[in-house]
Amino acid sequence: MLISVVIPVYNESELIHELYNAVTKALTNFTQDFEVICVNDGSTDDTLQKLQHCHQKDKRFKVLNLSRNFGHQAAYTAGLTYAKGNFIAMMDGDLQDPPELLQAMYQKAIENNADVVYGRRTERHESFFKKLSISSFHFIFNKLSNIKAPPNVGNFSVMNRKALASFLALDEKNRYLPGLRFFIGFKQDFVDYSRDDRSIGEAKMNFSRLTKLALDALFSFSKLPIRVCLWLGIAGMVFSLFGGCVVLYKKMIGEAIVGWTSILVSIYFLGSVQLLFMGILGEYIHRIFVETQNRPIFIVKDYFED
């Protein structure tokens, strides 16, 4: 039973050493048969050199070097594509996902015959603002999306070959992996854990990267944004039809309304509503464009395997 662990890293030079030690220690506790695929997502510091150094020491520690920074979700996808294991784990490289939990996840997969086992965060030790934005995202996503993903779940998970094959068969470009992982179905189970804050370095998923991920998730798993246009458009038509009748009636009985305030207000309002909806349409068109361009999700520069 080969176990693969896929870890994306981007400018994590300070913690490669600790990561290597923690992961190999956690894995050797329950198996000798494993590979760790560290995906270097276009780091600009000496992350790659440090990874290669670990690879030289220990060939089970493999390094997949992408040609540039493709983003966290693409880096995971790249590593998953190269993983050869019977069971494949996804884990962040900043040790916020505790490697010791891999054993519990793996055992749960075996004992409960589950195809996917994900880590469920019972608590998070992160900044108030980050926790607030993440929990509001999960709240909105669960209300709007057409899949019922449990909240407090991220990328941290273990899945078997069968589930991974279906997962990788989804080759859409705007990727929100936790959503895709629920989309494939199979028997899914979870292990609870408490997510610590980073001990070393700063978060590499900054606010704008996280916002992009949230938009990818909402637009690719929900039709609500475009439905809002439709329903508001219909409501607006009914409303203006009614308003038009009132105005015509007043005109007929010689009580025409003077004053431009109301006109201006409605022009501004309607103008901004139209702009908003053009933006929503644009978002969909852009996504269709990106899918039809069909560019690769990642490009590999080297793979240090053996």
**According to CB under 6 A, which one of 3, 8, 99, 218 is a site residue for ligand UDP?**
8
Which residues between 81 and 100 bind Mg ion (CB under 5 A)?
94, 96
Task: Show the beta-strand stretches assigned E in 200-296.
Answer: none
Number of residues that bind ligand UDP (CB under 6 A): 16
Give the residue, chosen from 2, 14, 69, 108, that forms a contact with ligand UDP under the rule CB under 6 A: 69
3-state secondary structure of 238: helix
Distance between CA atoms of residues 106 and 120, nearest Å = 14
Stretch of residues binding ligand UDP (CB under 6 A), selected from 7-15, 24-32, 113-121, 174-182: 7-15
List the single partner that 8 binds among Mg ion, ligand UDP, none, CB under 5 to 8 Å by kind.
ligand UDP
As measured in angstroms, the least distance from the Cβ of 126 to Mg ion is: 8
- Taking CB atoms, the residue at the shortest distance from ligand UDP is 93
Contact 114, 187 (CB under 8 A): yes
Q: Which one of Mg ion, ligand UDP, none interacts with residue 16, CB within 5 to 8 A by kind?
A: none
CA 211 to each of CA 155, 214, 222: distance values in angstroms, whole numbers, following the listed order = 16, 5, 16
Q: Which of residues 30-49 bind ligand UDP (CB under 6 A)?
A: 41
| Cβ(162)–Cβ(85) below 8 Å | no
What's at 141, amino acid-wise?
F
CB of 263 to ligand UDP, least distance (A): 48
Both tokens of residue 32? 């000798």
Cβ proximity to Mg ion: between 50 and 204 the closer is 204
Asked whether 123 and 195 are in contact (CB, 8 A), the reply is yes
Beta-strand relationship, 153-160 and 87-90:
antiparallel
Query: Is 80 one of the binding residues for ligand UDP (CB under 6 A)?
Result: no
Residue 69 tokens, joined: 């920074």
104 or 203, CB closer to ligand UDP? 203
Give, as ranges, the residues between 82 and 141 that touch ligand UDP (CB under 6 A): 92-94, 96
User: If you search the block for the tokens 């700063």, which residue do you land on?
Assistant: 202
Residues in CB range of 203: below 8 A, 6 or more apart = 94, 130
Residues 170-229 that bind ligand UDP (CB under 6 A): 203-205
User: How many CA atoms, within 13 angstroms, populate the side-chain half-sphere of residue 106?
Assistant: 22
Closest to ligand UDP by CB, 93 vs 178, is 93
Give the footprint of Mg ion on this chain (CB under 5 A). 94, 96
List interacting residues with ligand UDP (CB under 6 A): 8-10, 12, 41, 69, 71-72, 75, 92-94, 96, 203-205
